[in-house]
A and B are shown apart, each in its own frame.
Chain A
Amino acid sequence: MLIRKHERRAYQYAFRLTSNADEAADIVGDAFVRVYNALQNFRGQSAFTTWLYRILTNCYLDMRKREKNKQHVSLDAPTTVAGMEHERQVEDPAASPETAVEKSERERAVQEAVAQLPEYQRAMLTMYHVENLSYEEISEALDLPIGTVKSRLNRARLSLRELLLKDEELFQL
């Protein structure tokens, strides 16, 4: 019952951290094992979802520690077909208007930039901007003072801005 209620949200959070479906599913599986082991010690000091976010974040950080050298095949890496190199083509399902393409490019740039941030910053930005957790909830989830959460989030946003500078033309109004 508990799993059914929270698995989808847990998965979406884990996916936003990892951008990988298998890793996200593994993180969620590990998280629910930890929930099972620690449930009787959960005394309701925070909302269950806040506690779950904490566990998910820890599972994600633990996974990153273990798999630092994991390699992914880049969609931009050329493939070799019959001795010639072709760039892999991904069909763009979006409609043709220029603004839709530009919007999609901006989203891609932001996602790529977030993926380049240190894991802890990525988790905090995702919690706040995507999962809509408040500063108080993030403070509880990460066991940090609210002031620290605010200053680290500010730093994460500043780091993101730096990474996006090279794609600045996509963000000009």
Chain B
Amino acid sequence: MNPNKAREHFSAYYEGSLDPGLKQSFERKLATDAAIQAEYQAFARAVDQLNELKNLPIETPFDLHDRITARLDHHLWERKQKRAFSLVGWWKAVAVGGLATVAILATIFSLKGGGGQYTAGALTSPVREEVRLLMKGDRLQLSYRASGRATIKIHEGVGGKVLQTIQLDRQAVESPISNAGEKPTLVSITCSADSRRMVVALPGTTPSREVEGDGTVSDLALAAAGYYQVPVRIETEALDAKVRWKLVGETVSEAVSSDLDQSGLALEKRDGMLVILKH
């Protein structure tokens, strides 16, 4: 048994939980290696002393309870203040003009020999023959490879005014889609060669602190995008269905535990973004 392996067993030996074979091997090492024996003895003394720490008394401040309740009261007061300033839910106040801040910087690549290779050097991911939305770092990216002619359109809201049209002819496109506006915004993406419509809420530059609200599924997507600061895709057709929500935690992983009030909907973490879908 080498010294490093022996050290890995110090705690288990101290606690008497090494299995018999290993214990025999370890004790043989202690008997034959004076340095490891000395190390183990020092280790055991240190652990003995650690076990004494619990006996050291700690005085609880006389006003601890008051400090805790004051902190909680302050937190509740802050939440009330935020609600008072957004009677209708600020996510509903997205101005149409704000959608002009959606930035789409499409990079188009030529396809060679039926689409197997790409000439541009900046292609960062394998591009599939379906429109895909994925996260690249903290940015949303659209990817598509057209084996023939195709037109991709990015709309404001759900099927609204066209913000950008990308014409492809046996080409691939990669495009970050970001929102430089303060508030979250909704965009939808259609492709002439793909029957699906993708709807996604893009976070704005200012995070939201609102955890509770009610409205449509689109409103929920905007609220979640603003709160968690990640894109939120809607994968249900019923965009106008009513839902009440209470968002939890602060991370995307915690978001999946949010309460969506028995609406039959769920928030799911996928590919670095959130997805609203039916259970």
Contacts and interface: CB of A to CB of B under 8 A. Distances in A.
Interface of A: 3-4, 7-8, 11-12, 15-16, 21, 25, 28-30, 32-33, 36-38, 40-41, 106-107, 110-111, 114, 125, 129-132, 150-151, 153-154, 157-158, 160-161, 164-165, 168, 171, 173
10 contacts: A3-B69, A4-B65, A7-B64, A12-B58, A15-B58, A25-B67, A36-B75, A41-B257, A154-B12, A165-B42
A124 to B, nearest CB: 11
B90 interface: no
Interface string B27-58: 00000000000010011011101111110101
A80 B11 CA distance: 47
Given A38-B249, A158-B7, A110 B50 contact: yes
A32 B50 contact: no
B42 A157 contact: no
Interface in B1-42: 7-8, 10-12, 39, 42
B270 interface: no
A38 B61 CA distance: 26
Contact of A107 (B8, B39, B53, B69): B53
A11 B61 contact: yes
B interface secondary structure, majority: helix
A160 B49 CA distance: 11
A132 B65 contact: no
Given A157-B11, A171-B49, A129 B257 contact: no
4 closest A-B pairs (Cβ-Cβ)? Answer: A29-B71, A154-B11, A129-B50, A161-B46
B269 to A, nearest CB: 16
B39 A161 contact: yes
Interface string B59-70: 011001101111
B103 interface: no
Contacts of A150: 11-12
Nearest to A158: B7
Given A129-B53, A157-B11, 9 more contacts: A8-B64, A29-B71, A36-B75, A38-B249, A129-B50, A157-B46, A158-B10, A171-B42, A173-B45
Contact of B248 (A16, A38, A151): A38
A32 B259 contact: no
Given A16-B53, A110-B53, A157-B10, A29 B46 contact: no
B72 interface: yes
A3 B72 CA distance: 11
Given A36-B72, A161-B39, A107 B46 contact: no
A80 B168 CA distance: 78
Contacts of B11: 150, 153-154, 157
Contacts of B248: 37-38, 41
Given A11-B61, A157-B11, A158-B10, A132 B54 contact: yes
A157 B65 contact: no
Contacts of B61: 11, 21, 25
A87 to B, nearest CB: 24
Interface string B87-115: 00000000000000000000000000000
A3 B50 contact: no
Given A7-B64, A29-B68, A168-B42, A151 B52 contact: no
B64 A32 contact: no
